[in-house]
Structure 1
């Protein structure tokens, strides 16, 4: 059995706006990473099973690192993610007022890229590209 620690050449990062309430941070993180899992299926590992043979859903095969920053940090990271063509999910402040996927998509579609009021961003890609994208953000406490 291989006991060497795994080092991934890719990274999953979530960047949250620092002024969010605790419930908002959890909700935004969950929504953002669901987008990455659907768009990049190789991120998802194998299903789990306990010793009794009960099966569980698969999860990401690597850690999700969560960062926080201010509005400017989010705007800058968003621009960097787009410039690097990294798979990216966004959560805007307007999504807190909607209650379904159709209205969520309409709320984002109604705003030009530069005008998005970002409260969260998730990116995936090569480690160094993701590191450069979230540069200036700090690890979530």
Structure 2
């Protein structure tokens, strides 16, 4: 018999969200999402759950402890959301259009470093923080289809 703690719905006071530009190709959406969420676990280790283990005792890597919600919006929506996330001091990862032409982390970082914050050609952001703050950052975006 399950204990009350085992059957109660899990509620999170935080949110992990990815916002993608709505004009990306399918492969780009997947690639950008994977890169963006990889940046959150290091900056906010509390988002990572416990390791997994199957019935045979095989161990697997831990993953996020909560869902990742994926949104989309126009270029202007990303620019606005980026500014809102920065003004609220939320944990943020960015992916710019320049990163599609690089092939490694060193060149990715150099490409972002070469552009002033207000001129980044954002194609995706990932944000983590208190649920209400993330909701405000994403205002105007829609859930990814």
Q: Aligned-pair RMSD on alpha carbons?
A: 0.5
1:90 equivalent to 2:94? Answer yes
- In the comparison of the two structures, how many residue pairs are matched? 141
Q: Deviations over 1:38-79 (max 9, x none)?
A: 111110000000000000000000000000000000000000
Alignment partner for residue 27 of structure 1, among 27, 31, 38?
31
**Equivalent residue, structure 1, for 2:106:** 102
Query: Normalized against structure 2, the TM-score is what?
Result: 0.96
Ranges in structure 1 where 5+ consecutive residues have no aligned partner: none
1:74 equivalent to 2:81? Answer no
Q: Deviations over 1:5-64 (max 9, x none)?
A: 101000001000000000100000000000001111110000000000000000000000
Q: How far apart are the structure 2 equivalents of 1:25 and 1:36?
A: 17
Q: How far apart are the structure 1 equivalents of 2:42 and 2:22?
A: 26
**Equivalent residue, structure 1, for 2:46:** 42
1:18 equivalent to 2:22? Answer yes
Q: How far apart are the structure 2 equivalents of 1:105 and 1:61?
A: 28
Q: Secondary structure of 2:23's match?
A: coil
- Runs of 4 or more off by more than 4 Å in structure 1? none
Q: How far apart are the structure 1 equivalents of 2:46 and 2:13?
A: 13
Query: Normalized against structure 1, the TM-score is what?
Result: 0.99
Alignment partner for residue 52 of structure 1, among 52, 56, 59?
56
